[in-house]
Amino acid sequence: MAKILVVDDMEMMRDSLEATLSRAGHTVHLADGAAQGLELVKRHSLDMIISDLKMPKMDGLAFLTELQNIGSEIPIVMMTAYATIATAVEAIKKGAFDYIQKPFDAEEITLLVQRTLEHRRLLRENEAYRANARDWQRGRRLIGNSPAMQQVLDRVARIAPSSATVLILGESGTGKEMIARAIHAQSPRAHQPLLCVNCAALSSSLLESELFGHEKGAFTGADRLRKGRFELADGGTLLLDEISEMDLALQAKLLRVLQEREFERVGSCLTRQVDVRVIATTNRNLQEMVREGKFREDLFYRLNVVPVFLPRLRERIEDLEPLCEYFLHRCADRNGSEMRILSRSALEVLQEYPWSGNVRELENLMERISILGTAEVITGESIRSVLHLGQIGPAAPAQSGGGIPGDPDDPPVGRADLSSWRADGFASGDDPWSPAALSLEQVERRYIQETLAKYDGHRQKTAQALGIGLRTLGMKIKRWNLEKTSAS
């Protein structure tokens, strides 16, 4: 709920507005005049202001001017009597958001407050999207020199100028949302909203309301009108994350919007038209879900206009070094610490790791070692220590061009001695990272199984240690029948 300042020299009006707005769940600050109002603006973080126009000493117009002089961007609504409507219109020309004529009832002011707050939220979102677009245009966020990633970036550059629906496919943690943001930022819609909806995070009924909006009284708890994401993203882009988790009944309604560009709010018969580009993401095989009857075939083809396949991190090992440098630099900036340097032995260790959590896992690891590490140079031994993958043996002898793992003289970005790296559960003498010993999938399965055992089956702690999402961990547990190892 919002923090609202009410400015009026009439105590009865202040008390009445405080009661009405408090019942709606807002926090209300009261001022008996413009001077006190200015002091409260300086002391509190406010979401909107309701001010009378006619006040002694400093009227509403002068109050508005003073707010602008101190750089305030808080939306202000003016209260006016019939005789001063011309003055209220003048206030709007000077920057007020709206006005309301006295006398008014509780429902009128409540609706006006909702509209004002919605306007402020959209302004903030748009500014955030514009800032994000500027970042993308400077090329600061997409990193990848590998052939696989260059192919993705080339496809992004070609499809961004169009309005075609895009389906982004890839494992969890590969950067699907970042690619979606890059497409939006390079498109003609870059200065319009980019809104995101996680289809897995909401129930079917809540997701329908989130997408299409609802009328007041449409269902229990719908105490006010709410615009949906399609309506709010009009002219821009809507990202439907984890589209595979959407209920079949809701898939039919989504199909209509994609085909006809029209929809109805929940509880309304009025058809509304929108111009929205849809980008959907999933880490599941939608074609297989279609065969199983879990996803509509017509919706799949409507979404799969332009597919983008994101490679797994282990398929773009060439990008490990620049990604690590980027994450280490960002950690240093964010934490105000000295930037750490990756040694060649550390890079070798990272190149042998399976990366079940992809780029997200790498980012988490770099932040973890940036915080926990003490030496300026990150060595292979320190990487293994932070990964918690088993016992670390004695340091290997110096090798030509390599240095000793754990020695700060280890050349920054030869090879670490992995013979002592053993996770519990691997047979003695087996190299868990050798393709001849185990496949990457087997390594990943055993790694997750042993990490689960280490944390007594606690899924949240295991996911944090692995650097992957809780939902991703759950899917892998189910896929490999590890339920007995995990706690619900």
Place of tokens 């900036």: 333
| Choice between 361 and 483, residue whose per-residue pLDDT is larger | 361
Last residue in a domain, options 294, 311, 328: 311
Write the CATH number for 231. 3.40.50.300
Q: What is the mean pLDDT of residues 237-251?
A: 95
Residue 217's pLDDT is what?
85
Residue 241's pLDDT is what?
95
Residue 78 confidence class, pLDDT cut points 50, 70, 90: very high
Q: Is residue 328 part of a domain?
A: yes
Name the residue among 201, 168, 161 with its Cα closest to residue 303.
Answer: 168
Q: Is residue 435 part of a domain?
A: yes
Q: Quickly count: other Cβ atoms within 10 Å of residue 414's Cβ.
A: 13
pLDDT at residue 461 greater than cutoff 90: no
Task: Looking at the structure, tell me whether residues 158 and 280 fall in a common domain.
Answer: yes
Q: What is the pTM (predicted TM-score) of this model?
A: 0.57
pLDDT digits (tens, 9 = 90+) for 217-239: 888 777 778 889 999 999 999 99
Instruction: List all residues 6 or more positions away from 442 whose beta carbon is below 8 Å from its beta carbon.
Output: none
Task: Tell me the residue range of the domain where 159 lies.
Answer: 150-311
What burial letters (b/e) apply to 271-285, b meaning 16+ CB within 10 Å?
ebebebbbbbbbbbe
Q: What is the mean pLDDT of residues 121-134?
A: 65
> Tokens standing for 277?
């580009």
Give the Cα separation of 225 and 217 in Å (integer): 8
Residue 453's pLDDT is what?
84
Residue 438's pLDDT is what?
45
| Choice between 291 and 419, residue whose per-residue pLDDT is larger | 291
Which of these ranges, 83-97, 98-112, 160-174, has the smallest mean pLDDT?
83-97
H or E stretch including 74?
A: none
Task: Looking at the structure, tell me whether residues 291 and 411 fall in a common domain.
Answer: no
Residue 228's φ and ψ, nearest 5 degrees, are -90, 175
Residue 358's pLDDT is what?
94
pLDDT at residue 381 greater than cutoff 60: yes
| Choice between 391 and 21, residue whose per-residue pLDDT is larger | 21
pLDDT at residue 433 greater than cutoff 80: no
Which of these ranges, 185-199, 306-320, 333-347, 373-387, has the smallest mean pLDDT?
373-387
Q: Is residue 36 part of a domain?
A: yes
Last residue in a domain, options 311, 343, 364: 311
Task: Looking at the structure, tell me whether residues 301 and 326 fall in a common domain.
Answer: no
Average model confidence (pLDDT) across the chain: 82
Residue 304's pLDDT is what?
95
Alpha helices by DSSP H, listed for 202-291, are 204-212, 229-232, 248-260, 286-291
pLDDT at residue 440 greater than cutoff 60: no
Task: Looking at the structure, tell me whether residues 299 and 157 fall in a common domain.
Answer: yes
pLDDT at residue 398 greater than cutoff 80: no
Task: Looking at the structure, tell me whether residues 17 and 163 fall in a common domain.
Answer: no
Q: Is residue 134 part of a domain?
A: no
Q: What is the mean pLDDT of residues 254-273?
A: 91
Q: Is residue 224 part of a domain?
A: yes
Task: Looking at the structure, tell me whether residues 390 and 428 fall in a common domain.
Answer: no
Task: Looking at the structure, tell me whether residues 411 and 433 fall in a common domain.
Answer: no
Residue 368's pLDDT is what?
86
> Tokens standing for 240?
């439907």
Task: Looking at the structure, tell me whether residues 65 and 171 fall in a common domain.
Answer: no
Give the Cα separation of 366 and 348 in Å (integer): 15
Residue 386's pLDDT is what?
77
Residue 135's pLDDT is what?
52
Write the CATH number for 89. 3.40.50.2300
Last residue in a domain, options 283, 311, 339: 311
Residue 382 confidence class, pLDDT cut points 50, 70, 90: confident
Task: Looking at the structure, tell me whether residues 488 and 453 fall in a common domain.
Answer: yes
Task: Looking at the structure, tell me whether residues 215 and 319 fall in a common domain.
Answer: no
CB distance 256 to 262 below 8 Å: yes
Write the CATH number for 408. 1.10.8.60
Three state DSSP letters for 123-159: HHHHHHHHHHHHHHHCCCCCCCCCHHHHHHHHHHHHH
User: Half-sphere exposure of 310 toward its Cβ, with a 13 Å CA cutoff?
Assistant: 27
Tally of domains within the chain: 4
Task: Looking at the structure, tell me whether residues 290 and 169 fall in a common domain.
Answer: yes
Task: Looking at the structure, tell me whether residues 299 and 352 fall in a common domain.
Answer: no
pLDDT digits (tens, 9 = 90+) for 334-374: 877 788 888 999 999 999 999 989 999 999 999 888 887 77
Q: What is the mean pLDDT of residues 449-462?
A: 84
Phi-psi map region of 267: left, alpha, beta (phi>0 left; psi -120 to 50 alpha): left
pLDDT at residue 80 greater than cutoff 90: no
> Tokens standing for 142?
């997409």
Give the Cα separation of 296 and 249 in Å (integer): 10
Q: What is the mean pLDDT of residues 131-135?
A: 55
Residue 255 confidence class, pLDDT cut points 50, 70, 90: very high
